[in-house]
């Protein structure tokens, strides 16, 4: 009997030990899996940082390259200019007197190009009407291969032998000497080639542009919407080993242009699209990636972020996950012990029923939300950071041409053409950063174009696989078509009104259309956007609107006008501006018409405003109106001719007219085919309104 009891106790003890060993084994396996899962999540977080750095590096490399390519293209365009080539040929062995005669014109051409293309640094001295020497910080010049300058714009730094790559065989972008404030100078050069040019080095002639790598350039390194505290983007020129030369300011300080050890930047130079954790110039551990530039320079763009900042988020998430999962594992172990000792089958059954009821309610709610969204007139989707669709309504299926069931858990960018997909990915990236975006997307469907107002709104993310962006697409094709039709009708009304106005003055037939054409062309040459171009074109068409207040007898009078008649004509121009003041134009048409008689030096009418205070369109319109009036022939006189008109405009530049506008008009006439285009302006207009 005693042996039986002892045997029972022994068996019971073995059973308890076996159960305890099983629980410990389950716990060990559970904690191992928890650790592995946490490590996996940390690696995923590191990958996301890699993606963020790639996104910023790609964006900044594109902006920097565009800045450099835009300036080298401007210099190459000047080197290819026929006038510059002719001057260069004469300067190196041709007619020296002819070259000296052309020097003034080439100087004006370089000066106009310098101001237009950014090789003219706006300084405080530009606002002072005094004969003060400009600091030599930026400009354009024509330079011989031995360094002798032939002609240079005001402000062009002096380049000594060895300070620029005179032995280059083609166009170049290179660093020049530092300025007095230690700002690096970047040089853009293009060889002048053409018939008669020799290949000898001492006879090589270059167009060289210089400008400092200052705030205008440094803005290209700033990433809009960047949220990281220690993120840094800078440019370097790689040397041997881990040595680089920084070309832009560094966050932790250091002289620009001095070689230094930077393992992170050196790695970015060796593997431009690689990703690593290395020590930077300040001996700080950083995550780094780099990009080569599409511009012809041996520079590398480096994007870094302190490893402490990046890893803090990763470590915090990993530790939080470890704690959460560990607590969950302990809870499971405690439940197992309780089940083993007490049994909770009924509780588990009740919990299962409650869970089933909750799942049924959630499923019903999901069907309800799906039904509601399907009945909306817009396409709706919830997207993850990787463009994965977590939810989509029926209308999104109609837009993509795919069933909703096929869209769920699929990357939405794979359902669109590459151009549309790129725009959506960019917008989702902004939504991840908390920025809402709105844009128009044009899609081709069944041979017809549809236009969608597309919005991407941030969603609060909870967990790694949750949606972070709400996509809403509304078909606005009919609205856009109606708007375009309205704009077409408006343009037709303006054109008809112009014809009616010009018909009252047969001696100046087509004057309004010609002024509109010249003003539009000059504004385009300066670089205005489409909306501003349309404003100045409409103002040009309405330039003679006030003539409806002038009797026809005065308009057609061939003898000199009296003072009262002249005053009436002048007042009519201001009345024309008053007539359109209440109309809803896209741009400042009324202001342009109202200020076109203002002078650059403040001596004009009606308010005597001056300089930059004058509406830009009014500055252009005043030049265009004067130019057309001078070159256009009349029944009682011939036109002055393009050269005479330019002489008059240039003589009044800086007093009556803005210099930049006159220079732009002159460039169109001399280099952009303006003379041939406007040759018919000199045709005599007969009294009946027909061209002679």
Reply yes or no on whether the pLDDT at 126 is more than 50: no
Q: Is residue 448 situated within a structural domain?
A: yes
Q: Give the per-residue pLDDT at 423.
A: 82
Return the closest-CA partner of residue 557 out of 501, 625, 485, 634. Answer: 634
Q: Give the per-residue pLDDT at 359.
A: 73
Query: Which of 481, 515, 541 corresponds to the end of one domain?
Result: 481
Q: Indicate the SS3 state at residue 250.
A: coil
Query: Which of 481, 514, 542 corresponds to the end of one domain?
Result: 481
The sign of the CA dihedral 510, 512, 517, 521 is positive
Shared domain check, 461 and 512:
no
Q: Indicate the SS3 state at residue 540.
A: helix
Range with the poorest average pLDDT among 82-86, 214-218, 565-569, 688-692? 688-692
Q: Give the per-residue pLDDT at 267.
A: 95
Q: Which residue has the tokens 């909870």?
A: 462
Q: Is residue 89 situated within a structural domain?
A: yes
Q: Give the per-residue pLDDT at 651.
A: 92
Range with the poorest average pLDDT among 251-265, 358-372, 413-427? 358-372
Shared domain check, 577 and 468:
no
Which has the higher per-residue pLDDT, 181 or 11?
181
Question: For residue 293, how many other CB atoms are within 10 A of its CB?
Answer: 22
Shared domain check, 413 and 547:
no
Q: Give the per-residue pLDDT at 306.
A: 92
Range with the poorest average pLDDT among 27-31, 156-160, 161-165, 684-688? 684-688
Residue range 265-293, pLDDT digits in tens: 999 999 999 999 999 999 999 999 999 99
Confidence of residue 689 (pLDDT cuts 50, 70, 90): very low
Q: Give the per-residue pLDDT at 2.
A: 47
Shared domain check, 610 and 539:
yes
Confidence of residue 15 (pLDDT cuts 50, 70, 90): low
Pairing of strands 172-175, 185-191: antiparallel
Both tokens of 158, joined, read 């002096």
Shared domain check, 472 and 590:
no
Reply yes or no on whether the pLDDT at 600 is more than 90: yes
Q: Give the per-residue pLDDT at 176.
A: 86
Q: Which residues contact 15 (CB under 8 A, 6 or more apart)?
A: none
Q: Is residue 620 situated within a structural domain?
A: yes
Return the closest-CA partner of residue 410 out of 432, 373, 445, 383. Answer: 383
Could you tell me the CATH number of the domain that includes residue 191?
A: 3.30.450
Shared domain check, 675 and 574:
yes
CA gap 401, 31 in Å, rounded: 47
CA gap 547, 538 in Å, rounded: 16
Q: Is residue 462 situated within a structural domain?
A: yes
**Burial (CB count within 10 angstroms: exposed 0-12, middle 13-18, buried 19+), residue 414:** exposed
Query: Which of 187, 217, 247 corresponds to the end of one domain?
Result: 217
Q: Is 205 within 8 Å of 106 (Cβ atoms)?
A: no
| Backbone phi and psi for residue 512, each to the nearest 5 degrees, phi listed first | -65, -45
Q: Which residue has the tokens 């370089």?
A: 110
Both tokens of 576, joined, read 């024309």
Q: Which residue has the tokens 């040397």?
A: 239
Shared domain check, 669 and 599:
yes
Range with the poorest average pLDDT among 166-175, 193-202, 397-406? 193-202
Q: Give the per-residue pLDDT at 132.
A: 46
CA gap 322, 483 in Å, rounded: 58
Residue range 420-444, pLDDT digits in tens: 888 888 888 888 887 888 887 877 7
Residue range 217-261, pLDDT digits in tens: 889 998 888 778 889 999 999 999 999 999 898 988 877 888 899
CA gap 149, 128 in Å, rounded: 28
Q: Is residue 273 situated within a structural domain?
A: no
Shared domain check, 390 and 466:
yes
Could you tell me the CATH number of the domain that includes residue 419?
A: 3.30.450.20
Determine which helix (DSSP H) or strand (DSSP E) holds 511, and give its type and residue range: helix 511-526
Average pLDDT (321-334) is: 69
CA gap 283, 225 in Å, rounded: 27
CA gap 79, 4 in Å, rounded: 111
Q: Indicate the SS3 state at residue 568.
A: helix
Structural domain count of the chain: 3
Question: For residue 47, how many other CB atoms are within 10 A of its CB?
Answer: 11
Q: Which residues contact 508 (CB under 8 A, 6 or more apart)?
A: 502, 544, 632, 634, 685
CA gap 324, 576 in Å, rounded: 76
Q: Is 324 within 8 Å of 256 (Cβ atoms)?
A: no
Shared domain check, 516 and 476:
no
For residue 654, is the peptide bond before it cis, meaning its omega torsion is within 30 degrees of 0?
no
User: Which ranges in 204-306 belong to alpha helices (H)?
Assistant: 215-218, 263-270
Reply yes or no on whether the pLDDT at 636 is more than 60: no
Q: Is residue 418 situated within a structural domain?
A: yes
Could you write out the DSSP letters of every residue in 382-407? EE-TT-BEEEE-HHHHHHHTS-HHHH
Q: Is residue 288 situated within a structural domain?
A: no
Q: Give the per-residue pLDDT at 476.
A: 74
Return the closest-CA partner of residue 275 out of 599, 34, 488, 47. Answer: 47
Question: For residue 119, how many other CB atoms are within 10 A of its CB?
Answer: 26
The 3 state secondary structure assigned to 111-124 is: HHHHHHHCCCCCCH
Q: Indicate the SS3 state at residue 249.
A: coil
Average pLDDT (48-75) is: 92
Could you tell me the CATH number of the domain that includes residue 567?
A: 1.10.3210.10
Q: What is the dihedral of CA 399, 402, 403, 409, to 10 degrees?
A: -100
Confidence of residue 549 (pLDDT cuts 50, 70, 90): low
User: Which range has highest mean pLDDT (117-121, 209-213, 341-345, 570-574)?
Assistant: 209-213
Q: Is residue 176 situated within a structural domain?
A: yes
Instruction: Give the chain's mean pLDDT.
Output: 79
Shared domain check, 647 and 510:
yes
Q: Which residue has the tokens 């001057």?
A: 87
Q: Give the per-residue pLDDT at 351.
A: 67
Find the domain containing 548 and state its range.
505-681
CA gap 110, 103 in Å, rounded: 10
Reply yes or no on whether the pLDDT at 128 is more than 50: no
Reply yes or no on whether the pLDDT at 564 is more than 50: yes
Shared domain check, 510 and 392:
no
Reply yes or no on whether the pLDDT at 127 is more than 60: no
Shared domain check, 614 and 470:
no
């Amino acid at each position: 009997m005693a042996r039986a009891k002892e045997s029972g106790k022994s068996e019971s003890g073995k059973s308890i030990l076996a159960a305890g060993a099983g629980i410990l084994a389950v716990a060990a396996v559970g904690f191992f899996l928890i650790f592995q899962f946490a490590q996996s999540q940390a690696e995923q977080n590191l990958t996301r940082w890699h993606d963020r750095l790639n996104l910023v590096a790609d964006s900044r490399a594109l902006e920097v390259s565009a800045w450099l390519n835009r300036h080298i293209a401007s210099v190459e365009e000047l080197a290819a200019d026929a006038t510059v080539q002719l001057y260069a040929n004469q300067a190196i062995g041709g007619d020296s007197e002819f070259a000296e005669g052309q020097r003034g014109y080439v100087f004006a051409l370089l000066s106009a190009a310098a101001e237009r293309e950014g090789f003219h640094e706006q300084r405080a001295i530009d606002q002072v009407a005094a004969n003060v020497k400009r600091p030599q910080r930026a400009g354009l010049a024509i330079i011989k291969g031995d360094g002798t300058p032939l002609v240079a714009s005001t402000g062009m730094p002096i380049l000594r032998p060895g300070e620029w790559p005179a032995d280059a065989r083609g166009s170049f972008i290179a660093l020049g000497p530092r300025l007095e404030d230690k700002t690096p100078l970047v040089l853009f050069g293009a060889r002048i080639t053409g018939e008669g040019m020799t290949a000898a080095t001492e006879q090589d002639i270059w167009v060289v542009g210089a400008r400092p790598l200052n705030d205008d350039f440094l803005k290209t390194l700033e990433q809009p919407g960047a949220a990281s505290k220690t993120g840094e983007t800078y440019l370097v020129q790689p040397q041997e080993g881990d040595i680089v030369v920084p070309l832009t300011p560094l966050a932790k300080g250091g002289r620009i242009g001095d070689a230094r050890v930077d393992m992170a930047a050196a790695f970015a130079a060796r593997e431009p699209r690689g990703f690593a954790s290395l020590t930077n110039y300040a001996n700080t551990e950083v995550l780094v990636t780099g990009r080569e530039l599409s511009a012809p320079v041996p520079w590398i763009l480096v994007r870094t972020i302190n490893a402490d900042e990046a890893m803090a988020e990763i470590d915090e998430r990993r530790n939080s996950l470890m704690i959460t999962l560990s607590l969950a594992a302990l809870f499971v172990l405690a439940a197992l012990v309780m089940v083993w000792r007490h049994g909770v089958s009924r509780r588990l059954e009740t919990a299962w029923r409650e869970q089933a009821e909750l799942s049924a309610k959630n499923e019903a709610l999901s069907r309800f939300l799906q039904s509601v969204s399907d009945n909306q007139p817009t396409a709706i989707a919830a997207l993850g950071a990787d463009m994965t669709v977590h939810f989509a309504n029926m209308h999104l299926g109609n837009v993509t041409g795919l069933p909703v069931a096929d869209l769920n858990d699929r990357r939405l960018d794979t359902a669109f053409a590459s151009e549309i997909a790129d725009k959506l990915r960019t917008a989702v990236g902004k939504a991840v950063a908390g920025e809402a975006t709105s844009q128009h997307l044009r899609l081709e469907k069944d041979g017809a174009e549809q236009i969608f107002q597309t919005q991407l709104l941030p969603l609060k993310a909870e967990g790694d696989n949750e949606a972070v962006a709400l996509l809403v697409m509304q078909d606005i094709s009919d609205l856009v078509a109606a708007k375009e039709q309205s704009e077409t009708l408006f343009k037709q009304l303006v054109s008809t009104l112009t014809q009616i106005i010009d018909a009252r003055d047969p001696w100046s037939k087509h004057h309004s259309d010609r002024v509109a054409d010249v003003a539009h062309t000059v504004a385009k040459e300066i670089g205005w956007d489409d909306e501003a171009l349309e404003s100045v074109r409409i103002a040009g068409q309405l330039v003679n609107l006030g003539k409806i207040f002038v009797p026809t007898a005065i308009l057609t009078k061939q003898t000199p006008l009296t003072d009262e008649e002249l005053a009436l004509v002048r007042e009519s121009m201001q009345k024309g501006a008053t007539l359109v003041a209440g109309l809803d134009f896209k741009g400042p048409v009324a202001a342009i018409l109202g200020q076109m008689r203002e002078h650059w030096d403040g001596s004009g009418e009606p308010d005597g405003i001056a300089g930059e205070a004058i509406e830009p369109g009014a500055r252009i319109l005043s030049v265009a109106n004067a130019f057309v009036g001078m070159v256009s022939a009349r029944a009682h006189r011939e036109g002055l001719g393009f050269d005479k008109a330019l002489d008059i405009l240039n003589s009044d530049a800086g007093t009556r007219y803005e210099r930049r506008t006159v220079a732009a008009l002159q460039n169109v006439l001399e280099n952009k085919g303006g003379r041939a285009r406007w040759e018919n302006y000199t045709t005599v207009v007969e009294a009946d309104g027909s061209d002679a």
